[in-house]
Amino acid sequence: MHRIRAVEEEIARRYPEGQMRCPVHLSIGQEAIPAAFAECIKTNDFAISAHRGHAHYLAKGGDLNAMIAEIYGKASGCSKGKGGSMHLIDLKVNFMGTSPIVGNSIPIGVGLALSSKLKGTDQISCVFLGDGAIEEGVFYESVNFAAVKKLPVLFICENNLYSVYSPLSVRQPKGRDIAKMVNAMGIKAASGKGADILMAHQMIQEAINQIRTGSGPQFLEFSTYRWREHCGHDYDNHIGYRTQEEFDKWKSLDPLDCLDNVLSHEHIEVKEKINAIKSQIKKEIQIAFDKASSAPFPLQHDAYQNIYAEQA
């Protein structure tokens, strides 16, 4: 959680330098969910995500250096500079990709689950999505198919209340319980507080355990909040789409503080450990950014490569 936060903060800090020349969607404020997920998922399980995908990539074990290099548009990037922040992949840990077209990666995650079933493995597939994706038709199509085939899929919905700057109130009917709605489609569903990593961890672990036994897909919705602007490095409360009060309320629920407080309360020595971890993370991030900023760009010629895959 600290690592995700620190990476995102460093991206935000350096973004105005103009070297990261692609849109970035930061997960600051939403880290508890991916961090909990990281503790529960196996390396050979599949995961797929969307535009706000840095945290999921890192949580799945994606290579930090390759991600930062990708955002810098470098040849050493995880997509060799072809994808940028919105197209992250690390096949070594079965992080299978991200797509910024809302809802686009959902059926792809379901297809990965179908492949596990066909191949008879116990791999599950995790699909990260936001509240906006709930409004896409493909979400219903995908949940429906996963339910029909009882596929090993875990849908994790991070509900941060906004689709770009459009609040839930203009997008979904008042009082909708998303988990209840999904449950009515025939799959197990629950919702929880996304700032509470212990709760998130318990829910994700339980769901994964059950899915792995072949009991079919599940859906988890977590309430959460992105602190910074929808896309970019800055804060954007001043533009008027959300109130300072709302922001302050959510910021007071900082998932990092929540966990640190619980831990420090129980174990006095934890603070020291956390600080040691933080300084370790800082070093690691420094290296990643140094490497990325000094790495060579892909050759211009590479733009014309990989349109088609060659026959093996």
Partner 1 sequence: MSQKNFAAAINDALHQAMEIDSSVICYGLGVTDPKAVFGTTQKLEERFGSERVFDMPTSENAMTGVAIGAALNGIKSVVTHQRVDFFLLAMDQIVNSAAKWHYMFGGQNTIPITIRLIIGRGWGQGPTHSQNLQAWFAHIPGLKVVMPTTPEDAKGLLLASIFDPNPVIFLEHRWLHNTLGDVSDGDVRTPIGKAKIAKNGKDITLVAMSYMTIEALHAANYLETQGISCEVIDLRTIKPLDWDAVMKSVTKTGRLLALDSGFTTGSVAGEIVARVAMEKFNALKSAPARLAMPDVPEPTSPALTKNFYIRAGDIAIKIMEIMNKNTSKVRQDLPEPTPHDVPGEWFKGPF
> Which residue pairs, CB below 8 angstroms and at least 24 apart, start in 296-303?
296/74, 296/75, 296/76, 297/73, 297/74, 297/75, 297/81, 298/73, 298/74, 298/75, 298/80, 298/81, 299/75, 302/75, 302/80, 302/81
Report the alpha-carbon distance of residue 214 to residue 217 in Å, rounded.
Answer: 9
Nearer to partner 1, 43 or 261 (CB): 43
Q: Please, which residue, 121 or 275, has the CB nearer to partner 1?
A: 121
Closer residue to partner 1 in complex, CB, 138/181: 138
Q: Please give the Cα distance from 113 to 94 (Å, whole number).
A: 12
DSSP-derived secondary structure letter, 309: P
CB of 82 to partner 1, least distance (A): 5
Nearest distance in Å: CB 116, partner 1 = 7
Q: Specify the residue, 18 or 137, whose C-beta has the smaller distance to partner 1.
A: 137
Spatial contact of 260 and 232, defined as CB atoms under 8 Å apart: no
CB of 54 to partner 1, least distance (A): 16
What's the min distance (Å) between Cβ of 40 and partner 1? 21
Residue 46 belongs to what H/E stretch?
strand 46-49
DSSP, res 72:
T
- Select 193 or 291, whichever has its Cβ closest to partner 1: 291
Minimum Å distance from CB 103 to partner 1? Answer: 8
Instruction: Please state the closest distance from residue 139 (CB atom) to partner 1, in A.
Output: 9
CA distance 223 to 213: 27
Question: What is the rounded CA–CA span in Å between residue 50 and residue 246?
Answer: 25
Which residue type, as a one-letter code, is found at position 201?
H
Measured from the CB atom, is 6 or 67 closer to partner 1?
67
Minimum Å distance from CB 81 to partner 1? Answer: 7
Residue nearer to partner 1 on the CB measure, 53 or 194: 53
Surface-to-core class of residue 80, CB atoms within 10 Å of its CB (0-12 exposed, 13-18 middle, 19+ buried): middle
Rounded Cα gap, residues 22 and 37, in angstroms: 27
Minimal distance in Å, beta carbon 76 to partner 1? Answer: 10
Task: In whole angstroms, give the CA distance from residue 152 to residue 190.
Answer: 17
User: CB–CB of 226/160 below 8 Å?
Assistant: yes
**Of residues 79 and 191, the one with the C-beta less far from partner 1:** 79
Binding site for partner 1 (CB under 8 A): 46, 48, 77-83, 87, 89, 91, 96-97, 99, 101, 103-119, 125, 137-138, 141-142, 144-145, 148, 305-312
